[in-house]
Structure 1
Amino acid sequence: MKKILLAVDGSETSLKAAEQAKKLAQAFGSEIVILSVAHEPELHIFTEGAFLPDIKEEQAKILKARIIACEKLAKSIAEENVEKGIKVDYKVREGRPSDEIIKEADQEPYDLIILGSRGLTGVKRFVLGTVSGKVANNSICSVMIVK
């Protein structure tokens, strides 16, 4: 196993996934590429008293803050791995997490994608699906989902 794609979002399960990636990279001498995706906030057109330009401006501010948070998270995890002697790189993307993870996996020769399960249940899981489920079902390489 030469190259691992680690998808992180800051959740408890994604941090557990980062630990698993570190263990596998140490055991196999693998490179880790960390991917953190800033998803665009939903546009709520029916917000009382708000104008569309105001909402779009607020949406841009939220996205910028999410990009900065993703950058900090990915950099922090990368630094922890570098300290352990693991070759690591990180990327930050904007978009739908499942789409961006699949796109990244299609563009590079990854042997494994590791990501956390977010634990959606009931109706939310049925309607929205899960990032991990979408990645597992649409990825061209193996996927490890960490709980």
Structure 2
Amino acid sequence: MSGVVVVGVDASASARKAAEVALDLAESLGASLHVVTGFESESAETFGSGSDQVTVFRGDSAQHVAESLGASRPGVQVTHFASRGKPADSLIKEAIRLDARLIVVGNRRMRGIGRLLGSVANSVAHNAPCDVYIANTYED
């Protein structure tokens, strides 16, 4: 199988785990990886401490993750895209645009009260134009 694997990310550790799973899947399938960030409003998060701080804007998350994943596995073509809108809608639109074979999402907000509030994974699973892989990103 070749084609495109699409993964949704934000600046969270959970999304980073999902992206790493997506990279493994893309490599094993001989596919390229397309990293997508969907955001409803632009905001920033600061990581690090002291003079080693970096500010990451939501729209930049896809680029940062894509660059680090591409550097770790040069055999896999990694691209990125940021889209203003609901994250699930952004993933689905990109999957349609690229005729993706697979969408990978993390399982954040699929337990406890988060299930009542809704999750990106749930929304994508119900509306995706292709297969969906929900990566376990919870800590044991």
**TM-score past 0.5 threshold:** yes
3-state secondary structure, aligned to 1:6: strand
- Per the TM alignment, residue 35 of structure 1 is displaced from its structure 2 partner at its CA by 0.8
Instruction: Give the aligned partner of residue 73 of structure 1.
Output: 65
5+ long unaligned stretches in structure 1: 41-59
The one-letter code of the counterpart of 1:68 is D
Q: Distance in 2 between matches of 1:22 and 1:65?
A: 23
Q: Is the 8 A contact 1:17 1:116 kept in 2?
A: yes
Q: Distance in 1 between matches of 2:95 and 2:10?
A: 17
Higher strand share: 2
1:115 aligns with 2:68: no
Instruction: Give the aligned partner of residue 85 of structure 2.
Output: 95
TM-score with structure 1 length normalisation?
Answer: 0.72
Instruction: Give the aligned partner of residue 34 of structure 1.
Output: 35
Residues 22 and 67 of structure 1, relative CA distance in 2, 3 Å threshold: closer
5+ long unaligned stretches in structure 2: 45-55
The one-letter code of the counterpart of 2:34 is V
Rg comparison, structure with higher value: 1
3-state secondary structure, aligned to 1:26: helix
Instruction: Give the aligned partner of residue 6 of structure 2.
Output: 5
Q: Distance in 1 between matches of 2:122 and 2:103?
A: 12
Q: Distance in 1 between matches of 2:109 and 2:93?
A: 23
The one-letter code of the counterpart of 2:5 is I
- Per the TM alignment, residue 145 of structure 1 is displaced from its structure 2 partner at its CA by 0.6
The one-letter code of the counterpart of 1:100 is S
TM-score with structure 2 length normalisation?
Answer: 0.75
The one-letter code of the counterpart of 1:80 is S
1:144 aligns with 2:136: no
The one-letter code of the counterpart of 1:87 is Q
The count of residues paired between Structure 1 and Structure 2 equals 124
Higher helix share: 1
Cα deviation per residue 1:110-144 (whole Å; 9 max; x = unaligned)?
Answer: 11001111135444421x31101000000010000
3-state secondary structure, aligned to 2:81: strand
CA RMSD of aligned residues (A): 2.2
Identity rate, percent: 31
Q: Is the 8 A contact 1:74 1:91 kept in 2?
A: no
